[in-house]
Each structure stands twice: as C-alpha cells, then as structure tokens.
Amino acid sequence: MLLRLEQGRRGFSTANVILLSIDDETVRRYGPLPIDRAVLAKALDRVASGSPSVLVIDMLLSEKTTPAADASLADALSRFPKLVLATALEIPAGSRPPQWIAPLPEFRVHASALGHVHIEPDPDGVARTLLLSKSNGDQRRWALGFEAFRLQTGRQDPVLESADALRVGPYRVPAARFNHRLLWIHYAGPEGTFRHVSLANVLDGREPVSNFRGKVVILGVTAQGAGGAGDRIFTPFSAGLGMSGIEIHANVFLTLADGAYLVPLNPLQELLSVLTIAALMAAALWWRQGRLLISFAMSGVVLIPLLAYVLFRRGIVVPLASWIIVQIAASLLAFLVHTAFVRRRLREAILGQKNYAFRLQAVAHEIKTPLTAIDASSQLMAEADIPERKKEEIAQRIRGEAGRLSGVVTTFLDVERIASGALKLRRQQVDLAKVAAEASERAALLALKKNIAIEKDLAPATVAADEELLQFAIYNLLVNAIKFSSEASSVRITVRSSSQGARLDVSDRGCGIEPAAQKHIFEPFYRAKPRGEGQPGTGVGLALVHEIVTQHGGRVEVASEPGKGSRFTVVLPREGME
C-alpha cells in the first residue's frame, strides 16, 4: 500500500533498464520454448552492437542443445564485456545436499558473474524481500540483480562484509548477516514500469539497436500462453496477474542502484514501538478519566498509517499491520476498562442515591420514635385516673424525649461518618449493663402503651465502646421488639460477660420472622412482612444497629421462629476494633 502511494522517488531512472522479453509474440513467430539458441544468438548479436552497459540473462543455460546452436550462442555472449548469467539451487531427493545448477562451461567462460534467481514470497504469497546471498554450504552466490549492480558500478572486486551491511566500493548496502543478507525490494511500480522490448522486434529489426546503448538489459521469458513458462510472482503492486521475474530483478537492481533502501525496525525497536502504542492508549484512558478516549482511538486509525508512510519515505519499514492490530486491540481493551469504570461510577452514583434515601428514611425513623413516645405519654396523661405523681413522672419523660430529638440528627450523622471513616468512635470503658438499663428506661413508655413488661437480667460487663452510639443501637433493638410483640406480653433483655467480651440478648414473644427473611433483615430498606399484630417498619432501624455493632468490631445475630418470637444477640469484643 505504501509503495503504491509513493511516486517519483528515484534518482536512477527506470529508463536506464530495458527488459528484453521472450514473450508470446516471440514464441508464436520463432517457435516454442525453450527458444532455439541460434535464434537467441542472432538477437543478442544485434543487442551487442548497441553496446549495452550490462547484459543479465534470467535463463538457466545448463543443458546442451545442438552443437551449432550452442556455439553460436557462446559466440554471441562473448561480445558482452559485462555479462551476468543465472544459476539456481537444486534440492535433490534424499539426503544429498543442494547443488548449484550452473551454465554450461562454454557459456560460463564468458560470464563476468553468476547470480542466483531465487525469489521467495512471504507467507501471504507476496514477494517483498530477497536474499542477496544463497549458499549450498560449499559455494555462495549473490543475487542476479546484485551482480548486475556490481558490474554496472564497475566494482568487480570482492564484496566487503560486516555484521549489518555489505560494501561494494563506496556503496553501502544495509543487509544484516543475522537475516541472511535480506534486502527489502523498493518497487518502482507495477508491471510495465520498466520498458519491455520483445525479442521478436529485435530479430525483425523493428527495435533500433541504439536504444540499448549504455543500458542495463535483462533478458528473460515472459510468455504465458502456447507453452510459455514465464514465472509470475505476486508483489505489493500485483492485482490479478503477478509480476514477471525479469521485472522483479530489475526492481532489485534499481533498489541498489538508486540507494533507496528500505530498512525494517529491528526486533527491539518493533517491540518498543508496539509498547508505545499500548502506553499511549493507556494514557488516553487515564487522562481526564478517558473523556478523549474515542477521539484518540479514531485519530490513531489515521495517524498510524500516516506515520508509517512518513517513515517509509525515509526508508524505514515499520510493522504497520502489527501497529494497527495493537492499536485496535488496545483501543478495545481501553474501551472495556473505561466502560467498566463508568459502570462502577454509575453503580456508585445509584448507591449514593440509595444511601441518601436511606439517610432520609433513617432520620424520619429516629425522629418518629421519640415523637411516638411523647404521643403515648400525652394520651396517658389525658386519662382521668392517672395519679398526679404519675403524671409528673410522665411529663418529665416527655421533656426528656423532646430533648433527645435535637440529638437524633447529630447521632445519626455520626453513624454515617463513622461508616465512611470520616469520624472515629469515641471509645471509653463502659458498663454494657448500665447502658442497657438506660436504653430500657427510654423504651419503657412505648412498652407501657402496649402493657408490655421489660424484663431485665443485666450482669456487669465492661467493653470499650462509644456509649452514646451503643445506647442508640440497644434502644432500637428494644423498640423493634416492642413493636412486633403482642399486647400484655413481655420483652427480655440480658447482659453477660465472658473472657472475650460481652453478650447482649433482646428477646420477645412476638410474631417472629420467616426463615427466608432472616438473612435480609439487616439490609437497608428491607421490610419483613408482619405477622399477627406486628407493624411494618421502615427498613432502617436494624440496618443502623448492624452498622454500629460492626464499627465496634462485633456482630449481630438473630434467632427467630414464626409465631413464637425472636432473639437478637449482640456480641462485642472487650477492646473493640480500631
């Protein structure tokens, strides 16, 4: 693709190379392949009279024909001072080593060099590279186009080799030893970029021999029909029909003559480039929380090929396909991560809204509880048979509950801040029995309204706790037990001490809790269906109890049987959790 975009890059003109084709017209008029060597000799005699710079023959002249025809061809070859003949490696059957197929001695004696004709396509069938050097273990040959380049530059002295390059006189060819002197072919264009001259036109005199003066002439077979055997290989420019072998050799020669080398990234550079693309996508994901991720990913689709083209113009071949695959894969991964991040933020927002609603419900719940107690007390005071002393006691409790209303919001906010880690528990050594007794006194008004007795069995038990929050939790357990108990029943609260800490139980003989509901009752907003005389709750009281106990390093348990009542157990460690 990049080669197709590039135009007008070369300094050494393609007009300096002529492809002398044994094409279908030649085969039709002068016989089938292999072409008669006497006919070939006649054409070469005419070409030689035009004084070409170099003659390259892309044909294996390894087998004898008639003595007269071979002799005439040998005589014609002798007229070219710079001649390159083709050779190829043959892989014999069995375990024998590969052997070079060389020209006949009578032809070889006139050759300035022998060059191998092997062109091996990539796994996708496209010829992008060529090995400048091939060996059978005993003898090594340079590529046909490379030998033509050496002769054209007048450098027939030995090639100087280093680990990363070859040197032909002053010319440096970047071809590393580790990859067997691989050369990337810098194609000048599609088939026909170089001028093709039919051998038939030379024989008929229709091609002026002066056109060959000073040119590099490459002779080979391009015929396809009527017994033709011209080789065709797909190149980056091919569309349908591959490129002829002589045109590929011409591109190899022109790559060397023009010095327009294509140098691929080494493995380390390729790895770093891929990691850089992945790192850029990661940076796009991180920067401004991925707000420009889509724009960055779309820009990469355009910028990566553009960068590859710019580097290609500078002779650097990059793994464009790998870059695009990594960019797409990194983009997809970044999108997945960003989507997961957005979904998490959305869940957090939804949870935040739910928590906000929970807080509103909790505040309403905690305000409603003392108001209910005040209402119940005021109704008792309105009864005519209540003694004055009892009325005064009820009035004092009403004032106490009213005073506690101002602290409900502060207490609740403290619970929320403790849960979020914004507020530390105000720990001190407290007697759990004393805290339970005070909570029981607060709940007495509610119990009195339903004629429920609060039975207390409170043994001293010292724990490190926030006294106000702990009383808040115990009071909620008692209110919950009274709410779901039938009238004229009882609620029992016990406190016991152990070597590990303390245990508090609040038991009732109410409607009980269904087994399926017991594992959900500490979840915010969960409301178990009431049984009997039970009342529906707001779904926040037990959630607050659970949070307070958890922050103290303890646990809350429930044991309940429908129709028989429930027991809530709070277990607190002696020292609590920091």
The answer to whether residues 305 and 211 belong to one domain is no
Q: Is residue 455 in some structural domain? A: yes
Mean pLDDT for the stretch of residues 63-78: 96
Q: Is residue 361 in some structural domain? A: no
The model's confidence at residue 9, banded by pLDDT at 50, 70 and 90, is: very low
The answer to whether residues 255 and 273 belong to one domain is no
| Full residue range of the structural domain in which residue 13 is found | 2-263
Say whether pLDDT at 136 is over 50: yes
The model's confidence at residue 527, banded by pLDDT at 50, 70 and 90, is: low
The answer to whether residues 249 and 298 belong to one domain is no
Residues 6+ apart with CB under 8 A from 446: 372, 373, 376, 479, 482, 483
The model's confidence at residue 226, banded by pLDDT at 50, 70 and 90, is: very low
Rounded percentage of the chain residues whose pLDDT exceeds 90: 46
DSSP string, 86-121: EEEEE--STTPPPEEE---HHHHTT-SEEEE-----
Between 234 and 238, the more confident residue is 234
Q: Is residue 401 in some structural domain? A: no
Between 107 and 308, the more confident residue is 107
Say whether pLDDT at 289 is over 70: no
pLDDT at 577 (0 to 100)? 42
Mean pLDDT (the chain, rounded): 85
Say whether pLDDT at 4 is over 50: no
List the CATH number of the domain containing 430. Answer: 3.30.565.10
pLDDT at 215 (0 to 100)? 96
pLDDT at 182 (0 to 100)? 92
SS3 labels along 140-158: EEEEHHHHHHHHHCCCCCC
Classify 208 in phi/psi space as left (phi over 0), alpha (psi -120 to 50) or beta.
beta
What is the per-residue pLDDT across 411-428, written as a single tens digit (0 to 9) for each? 566 556 655 655 567 889
Q: Is residue 407 in some structural domain? A: no
Mean pLDDT for the stretch of residues 34-61: 96
Sequence letter at residue 496: R
Q: Could you give the C-alpha distances from 331 to 269, 299, 321, 322, in angstroms and in order?
A: 22, 11, 15, 14
The answer to whether residues 245 and 276 belong to one domain is no
Given 263, 293, 325, the domain boundary residue is: 263
Given 222, 247, 263, the domain boundary residue is: 263
Q: Is residue 128 in some structural domain? A: yes
Sequence letter at residue 372: T
| Token pair in block for residue 448 | 């009195």
Q: Is-contact 223 24, C-beta < 8 A? A: yes
Say whether pLDDT at 160 is over 70: yes
Mean pLDDT for the stretch of residues 363-389: 71
Sequence letter at residue 359: R
The answer to whether residues 99 and 240 belong to one domain is yes
How many angstroms separate the CA atoms of 512 and 528, rounded? 10
Buried b (16+ CB within 10 A) or exposed e, 59-75: bbbbeeeeeebbebbbe
Say whether pLDDT at 251 is over 80: yes
Domain count, the chain: 3
Mean pLDDT for the stretch of residues 547-571: 92
Say whether pLDDT at 384 is over 80: no
The model's confidence at residue 529, banded by pLDDT at 50, 70 and 90, is: low
The answer to whether residues 241 and 298 belong to one domain is no
How many angstroms separate the CA atoms of 552 and 101, rounded? 91
Q: Which of 350-354, 426-430, 460-464, 490-494 has the lowest mean pLDDT?
A: 350-354
Say whether pLDDT at 533 is over 50: no
Mean pLDDT for the stretch of residues 371-387: 72
Sequence letter at residue 53: S
Q: Is the peptide bond before 34 cis (omega within 30 degrees of 0)?
A: yes
Say whether pLDDT at 369 is over 70: no
Q: Is residue 48 in some structural domain? A: yes
The model's confidence at residue 7, banded by pLDDT at 50, 70 and 90, is: very low
The answer to whether residues 142 and 224 belong to one domain is yes
What is the per-residue pLDDT across 314-325, written as a single tens digit (0 to 9) for each? 878 888 888 888
Mean pLDDT for the stretch of residues 178-182: 87
Q: Is residue 403 in some structural domain? A: no
Q: Is residue 390 in some structural domain? A: no
Find the Cα–Cα–Cα–Cα dihedral 296, 301, 302, 304, rounded to 10°. Answer: 100
What is the per-residue pLDDT across 471-492, written as a single tens digit (0 to 9) for each? 989 999 999 999 889 899 999 9
Residues 6+ apart with CB under 8 A from 112: 81, 82, 83, 84, 147, 151, 156
Q: Is-contact 556 549, C-beta < 8 A? A: yes
The answer to whether residues 218 and 276 belong to one domain is no
The answer to whether residues 26 and 171 belong to one domain is yes
The model's confidence at residue 206, banded by pLDDT at 50, 70 and 90, is: very high
The answer to whether residues 54 and 130 belong to one domain is yes
The answer to whether residues 100 and 136 belong to one domain is yes
How many angstroms separate the CA atoms of 145 and 44, rounded? 20
Given 219, 242, 263, the domain boundary residue is: 263
Say whether pLDDT at 307 is over 80: yes
The model's confidence at residue 8, banded by pLDDT at 50, 70 and 90, is: very low
The answer to whether residues 11 and 31 belong to one domain is yes
Pairing of strands 216-221, 17-22: parallel
Mean pLDDT for the stretch of residues 120-127: 90
